[in-house]
Amino acid sequence: MQEINISEEYDKVFTVVERRKLADLLKAPINRLSDDFKYDIVHFAWLAEMTFRSKDNGPTRKQTRESLKDIEKRTQALLTALSDLDLTSRRALQEEAIRQFGPYIIAIEDSNAPEFYSDYGKRRYFAWIVHLKQIHSSANRTSERFRKSGPSANADRQWTVNELLKIWRTYAKQEPKLSYNRRTRRTTGPFLEFCEIALGPAVKAGGKAINLERAIRDELYGRVQR
């Protein structure tokens, strides 16, 4: 299975202008942004697009959740079936897989993974068993973003701000803050601009603007009675 090239995905998700602006906001050269940052911001953009897209541009929240729960159920069933195999059957499966696909075996310590054979005291498992467990866990966590009842629009915006605050505080060299110009009646600030760029793909997919100003203000300065 081909791994994701995170730099290529980053370049697909954000335009050249957006990438330059993100680098400026983080006070980093555009060619020195870490792969960790690219992964975090691209992963957020994918989730945000799923959250805010219109009904015409993809499955509903309920359909998305049901698909993810189906993946969770199927991977668990396969993991259980592998665990239930006797040692002789596991070894036969292992040798056939190696013969067909190559030695995709890694040495790990994991009491929850089916053991295929022992070698000098090391417990060894198929790499794809570990991957199955990761897919199962990821499907479970992602499905919670699309729980059946569905969060409100305010909850979606609050989730967005919280996720972007985590990314900003990890990679930016300044604390997030907002400035309000009474003459122009405009709120500005590097973090607000960062959020707008990060939400760009979701806005394009959903076809409408997403205003985060109030959610950001509430998170940074506390909620006030309105």
Domain boundary among 91, 113, 139: 139
Residues 163 and 216 in one domain: yes
What is the model's pTM? 0.66
Residues 157 and 132 in one domain: no
pLDDT tens-digit readout, 12-57: 999 999 999 999 999 888 888 899 999 999 989 988 887 777 556 6
Print the domain residue range for 134: 68-139
- What is the pLDDT at residue 209? 78
Q: At a CB cut-off of 8 Å and minimum separation 6, what does 38 contact? A: 6, 7, 9, 10
DSSP H helices in the chain: 6-13, 16-25, 35-52, 61-84, 87-101, 127-143, 153-171, 190-198, 200-206, 213-221
Query: Among 20-34, 141-155, 178-192, which stretch is predicted with the lowest mean pLDDT?
Result: 141-155
Q: Which residue has the tokens 């060619």?
A: 31
Cα dihedral sign for 204, 209, 213, 214? negative
Residues 99 and 210 in one domain: no
Domain boundary among 113, 139, 165: 139
CA–CA separation, 150 and 179 (whole Å): 33
